[in-house]
Structure 1
Amino acid sequence: MKKFPMTVGGEKALREELDDLKTVQRPTVIASIAEAREHGDLKENAEYHAAREQQGFIEGRIQELEGKLGSAQVIDVTQIPHTGKVIFGTTVDLINMDTEDTVCYQIVGDDEANIKGGKISISSPIARALIGKEEGDVAVVQTPGGGVEYEIDQVRHI
C-alpha cells in the first residue's frame, strides 16, 4: 500500500475529527433516527430521511478518515536535524525577487493544505520548486503567467 506524507499536526486534526464523528455525531444521529421512527409512517417522515442521509455522510467520512490515517506516513520534522534544506514539514520564508513581498509557507500533505493558513501541499508547484533547496537559494516557480523567482530567506523546523 502506498504511504502518503502527513505532519504530526495533520494527523492530530484528522484523529480529532474521527473521534468527534464516532463519539458525538454518530450517536446523535442514531438517536435522531430512533426518535423519527417513533413518529410513525417512515415514507412521509422528513425527519427520518434527513437523519438517514446525515448518517450516510457521517459513515462515509469515518471510512474516508480511517483510510487516510491508515495510509499516512507521519513525519515529525522537529525530530529531523536542521540542515537549512527545504524538506517536507518545514516552514519556509520566501522573498519574491520581483516585488520584494515576503510569504511564509509550511509544506504539508495534500489533505492538510490550506493556502489561507500558510500551508501548501507537497505536490503543489511552489513546494516542488522549493524541495531540496537551501537558505539563500533562488527557486523558480512555474505559474500560468511564467516563472516567478523566490529567494529562500529562512527554513524552520517547527
Structure 2
Amino acid sequence: MTQSTDTQATHWLSAGAHEALTAQLADMRGPQLTKIVAEISAARDEGDLKENGGYHAAREAQGRLVGEADALEVLLRTSFTDAPVADGVVAPGVVVTYKFEGDDDDEAETFLLGAIEMKPFAHGLDVFSPAAPLGAALLGHTAGDTVSYTGPTGREIKVQIVSAKPFED
C-alpha cells in the first residue's frame, strides 16, 4: 500500500502490522460482531428489555466493538506502509536513537517513529508519533543534528540524533 491520498492525516505502519491489523478488523467485523449479535438476540428473547442486564451489556459490548472497528478502519484507510529510504533522515518508519544534550552516548534512547498502533509490532521499542513534540522536532533531521523542542513543562530541551535507521519488520 502506498501513502494515502485521503485528506486526513496519514500514519506509517509496517507491512506486517498493516496485515495483522487488517486481519483483526476482519475478525471484529465478522466473528466477534456475529457473536455479540447472537447474545443480543438471545437476551431479547428473554422478554422485558428494561430490566434485562444481559441485553444492555451485550448492546454496550456491540457499541464498543463497532467503535473500535470504525477507528481501526480509519487508521488502515489513512495509513501507508512505504519503507523509509535508508539515508539516515528521521521520517515515519525510522528507528531513531537520540540523546539529551550533555548526556554520554551510553545514555542514548531509541524509539520508532510511527503510528502508536505499531507498539505491539515494534519489538519492544517505544513508539512516538510524528505529531508528538519530540517526533515533530526530529522529523526531517539527520544523524549528528542537534534539535530543540519545547517539553511538556514549557522548558526548551535539546537532543542530538545519534542514528536514524529504517524499521525492520
* Shared fold, TM over 0.5: yes
In the alignment, is residue 130 of structure 1 matched against residue 138 of structure 2?
A: yes
Q: Which runs of 4+ in 1 moved over 6 A?
A: none
Partner Cα distance (2:141, 2:95) in 1:
13
Alignment of 1:103-122 (within 5 A): 103-109=109-115, 111-112=116-117, 117-122=125-130
Identity over aligned pairs, percent: 28
1:1-158 to 2 correspondence within 5 Å?
1-3=6-8, 4-8=10-14, 9-70=16-77, 72-77=78-83, 80-100=84-104, 101-109=107-115, 111-112=116-117, 117-143=125-151, 144-158=153-167
Over the aligned positions, Cα root-mean-square deviation in angstroms equals: 2.3
Which protein is richer in strand relative to its size? 1
- Aligned to 1:112, what secondary structure does the other structure show? helix
Structure-1-length-normalised TM-score: 0.82
State the aligned residue count.
153
Closer, same or farther: CA 142–37 of 1 in aligned 2, 3 Å = same
Distance across 1 between alignment mates of 2:79 and 2:44: 43
Contact in 2 for aligned 1:113/1:120 (Cα 8 Å): no
TM-score (norm 2): 0.77
* SS in structure 1 of the partner of residue 131 of structure 2: coil
Q: Aligned equivalents of 1:59 and 1:121: distance in 2?
A: 25
